[in-house]
Amino acid sequence: MDVPYITIQQTGAKMPAIGAGTFGSDHVNHDDMAQSVKTALKLGYRNIDCARVYANEKEIGKVLKASAIKRDELWITSKLWNDMHGKKNVGISLRQTLNDLQLDYLDLFLVHWPFPNFHPPMCDVTSRNPDARPYIHEEFMETWRAMEDLVDQGLVRHIGTSNMSKAKLELLLATCRIRPIANEMELHPCFQQPELLSYVKQEGIIPIGFSPLGSPNRPERDTTETDAIDMEHPAVLAVAKTHNIHPAAICIKWARANGIVPIPQSTKERNLKSNLESIMSDPLTLMEVAMLKEADCNSRLIKGQVFLWEEAKNWAELWDEDGLIRVPERYRR
């Protein structure tokens, strides 16, 4: 059985409906992650979710180079890290990524976060960059224009966003020349983001769901006591029992039923295999999809505290939860 595909409205290109994640949550070493990509390709994955900040593109590139799979059968995504926003840096960063992945082009290049704020690798939750800034649309558009130029140059087939709010996407869609074809966003049964998800779909943007299993081994800085655990939620367990499968498989099937492309990460062959099979067989019934709506408790896991700027006191300010983008006076142009 083949992996299903989702057709991109703007170009007719086809994105495989599940991808393999490559962020090792700071504890999987780069060679092990590359090995998991090799296993994923062997099992039939054709969509790999990379990022510059995961620092393992060189190792993954060796696996891609050695693979006998034709380039046009693969969907490779990577992401611009926050330290390379801005007109001059975007092309430089993309070329480094292409070089490390040993590719001539990417299928999808995402702006990883809409802020140029970054943190040192392995930092803790209290880490703050003194130069961190709120979202400033004019600055973001300088980065986006450079992303558009990469499409013109044929170096990336599509561009997209990640970690955006509806308010930020509305601004982007009103001002861009080339639209984002996808928005990578946190999506799992305990964090369904119904308003943003339906807006993205209504705009013909593909929702790529990160942390689709609730990221059980995520870094310490992204873990709080009140976080929900998807694979232990009673609604997820109840549906898993009816299908007689692991709750992880229900999280993947939930994504598929909601038009989301999940990108689960695993270093274990049996989990990679089971996640792939979950997308291809035994879909949820409408009744089960309705039951799983009850699992949504707005439990955001990747809160982004380390990206906060000086005046911002709470991570909620990153996400424009009341629909407003707040920019303190001193940052306005």
Ligand X SMILES: NC(=O)c1ccc[n+]([C@@H]2O[C@H](COP(=O)([O-])OP(=O)(O)OC[C@H]3O[C@@H](n4cnc5c(N)ncnc54)[C@H](OP(=O)(O)O)[C@@H]3O)[C@@H](O)[C@H]2O)c1
Residues that bind ligand X (CB under 6 A): 21-23, 25, 49, 112, 162-163, 184, 210-218, 246, 248, 263-268, 271, 274-275, 302
SS3 152: helix
Output 48 or 171, the one with its CB closest to ligand X: 48
Q: How far is the CB of 332 from ligand X (least distance, A)?
A: 27
What is the DSSP pairing of strand 20-21 with strand 108-111? Answer: unpaired
Of 36, 28, 133, 16, which Cα lies nearest the Cα of 86? 133
Q: How far is the CB of 77 from ligand X (least distance, A)?
A: 9
What is the DSSP pairing of strand 47-49 with strand 20-21? Answer: parallel
Output 97 or 215, the one with its CB closest to ligand X: 215
Q: How far is the CB of 137 from ligand X (least distance, A)?
A: 20
Q: How far is the CB of 310 from ligand X (least distance, A)?
A: 23
Active-site residue identified among 54, 105, 135, 331: 54
199 has catalytic annotation: no
Residues in the chain, total: 333
C-alpha dihedral, 88 to 94 to 95 to 96, nearest 10°: 100
Query: Is 195:165 a contact under the CB 8 Å cutoff?
Result: no
Separation of CA 211 from chain center: 8
What is d(CA 63, CA 38) in angstroms, rounded to the nearest whole number? Answer: 6
Output 139 or 266, the one with its CB closest to ligand X: 266
Output 171 or 249, the one with its CB closest to ligand X: 249
What is d(CA 117, CA 55) in angstroms, rounded to the nearest whole number? Answer: 17
Identify residue 173 by its one-letter amino acid code.
Answer: L
Paired tokens of 58: 């060189």
Which residues are catalytically annotated? 54
